[in-house]
Amino acid sequence: MTNKAAKIAKQWLDDADAILVTASNGLSISEGLNLFANDKKLKEVLGDLVDKYHLPNLLTAFVFKYPNQLDYWRMVARVVEYYGNNYEISNYMQDIKKIIGNKSYFVWTSNIDHHFALVGLTNLFEIEGNWFEGVCSNHPAEHSVHYLASKLHEIYEKDQAGTLTEADIPKCDECGAPLALNMAGEDFQINQKQVQAFQDFIQKYEDKKLVVLELGIGPRNQMIKAPSM
Ligand SMILES: [Zn+2]
């Protein structure tokens, strides 16, 4: 960015009535979370599961058909412990918070890491869900969404201690069926409160000065980039 462009951007931000932050996986990658990478961090996070199932990256780890559910939840717990429960705010997130300041804002993201919520930016629309939430695999639409942060931490601890059993697999409070992660896929339940809040925000600022920050979104992104344009 040239000096002149930076000055204009600063002016727009100063004059803005509100800020819409749009973000996709480029931001996660900048923060050190790369779902596509086959690097040494993959083994650091997933441990023996990498060799056991020949997992090339985190994305595959989430869609791989494990022969048993315990290994699936081991994988989830290890990932969420590392990138979720132990998440520390990055310089990027600090800068985003600084830019927003006291202005009205909304975050629209396809990132499933829940990092915006973890840093307190909770005016949030997670268009593909996040990996802290579980839905009933038998009644995804009817039974309530479960917040799994502490449950996943417990699974992680038991996994490390070698005491994890089938009884620890997260289940629906209402019917006892196993939970599925509430992320893009057939069981996905979009958060209607988030959808409504997002629509309200857009309506409120449609005729006002709204600055859109686009962070780490690819040029052909149809989910966020195309509609925001
Ligand atoms: Zn259920």
pLDDT tens digits, one per residue of 9-63: 999 999 999 999 999 999 999 999 999 999 999 999 999 999 999 999 999 999 9
Mean pLDDT of 195-208: 97
CA of 172 to the centre of ligand 1 (A): 5
Going from the Cα of 193 to the center of ligand 1, the distance in angstroms, rounded, reads: 21
Q: What is the pLDDT of residues 147-193, one digit of tens each?
A: 999 999 999 999 999 999 999 999 999 999 999 999 988 899 999 99
Which pLDDT score, from 0 to 100, does residue 227 have? 84
**Alpha carbon of 34 to ligand 1 centroid (Å):** 32
Q: How far is the CA of 141 from the centre of ligand 1 (A)?
A: 9
Q: What angle do CA 90, 91, 95 make, to 5 degrees?
A: 120
| Mean pLDDT along residues 78-82 | 98
User: Quick check: helix, strand or coil at residue 22?
Assistant: strand
Question: At residue 185, what is the residue type?
Answer: G
Gap from CA of 79 to ligand 1 centroid (Å)? 25
For residue 122, pLDDT over 90 is answered with: yes
What confidence tier does 225 reach under pLDDT thresholds 50, 70, 90? confident
Segment 209-222 mean pLDDT: 92
Q: Tell me how far apart the alpha carbons of residues 135 and 129 are, in angstroms, rounded to a whole number.
A: 11
Output the CA 68–ligand 1 centroid distance in Å: 20
pLDDT over 70 for what percent of the chain? 100
Q: How much distance in Å is there from the Cα of 63 to the middle of ligand 1?
A: 22
Measure 9 CA to ligand 1 centroid, in angstroms: 48
Phi, psi of 182 (to 5 degrees): -85, 75
146 Cα to the center of ligand 1, angstroms = 10
Please report the pLDDT score of residue 214 as a whole number: 95
* Mean per-residue pLDDT over the chain, rounded: 96
Helix (H, G, I), strand (E, B) or coil at 210: strand
Q: How far is the CA of 136 from the centre of ligand 1 (A)?
A: 4
Q: How many CA atoms lie within 13 A of 165 on its CB side?
A: 2
Kind plus residue range of the DSSP H or E element containing 80: helix 69-80
CB 52 within 8 A of CB 75: no
Closest CA to 216 of 20, 12, 17, 24: 24
Task: Tell me how far the alpha carbon of residue 156 lies from the centroid of ligand 1, in angstroms.
Answer: 23
Distance from the alpha carbon of residue 187 to the mean position of ligand 1, in angstroms: 12
For residue 69, is pLDDT > 90?
yes
Rounded alpha-carbon distances, angstroms, from residue 174 to 101, 143, 144, 155: 41, 7, 8, 21
- Is 45:79 a contact under the CB 8 Å cutoff? yes
Confidence check: pLDDT of 223 > 90: no
Q: Quick one: pLDDT band at residue 229, thresholds 50, 70, 90?
A: confident
Confirm if 16 and 209 have CB atoms less than 8 A apart. Answer: yes
Distance 152 CA to ligand 1 centre (A): 18
What is the CA(115)–ligand 1 centre distance, in A? Answer: 27
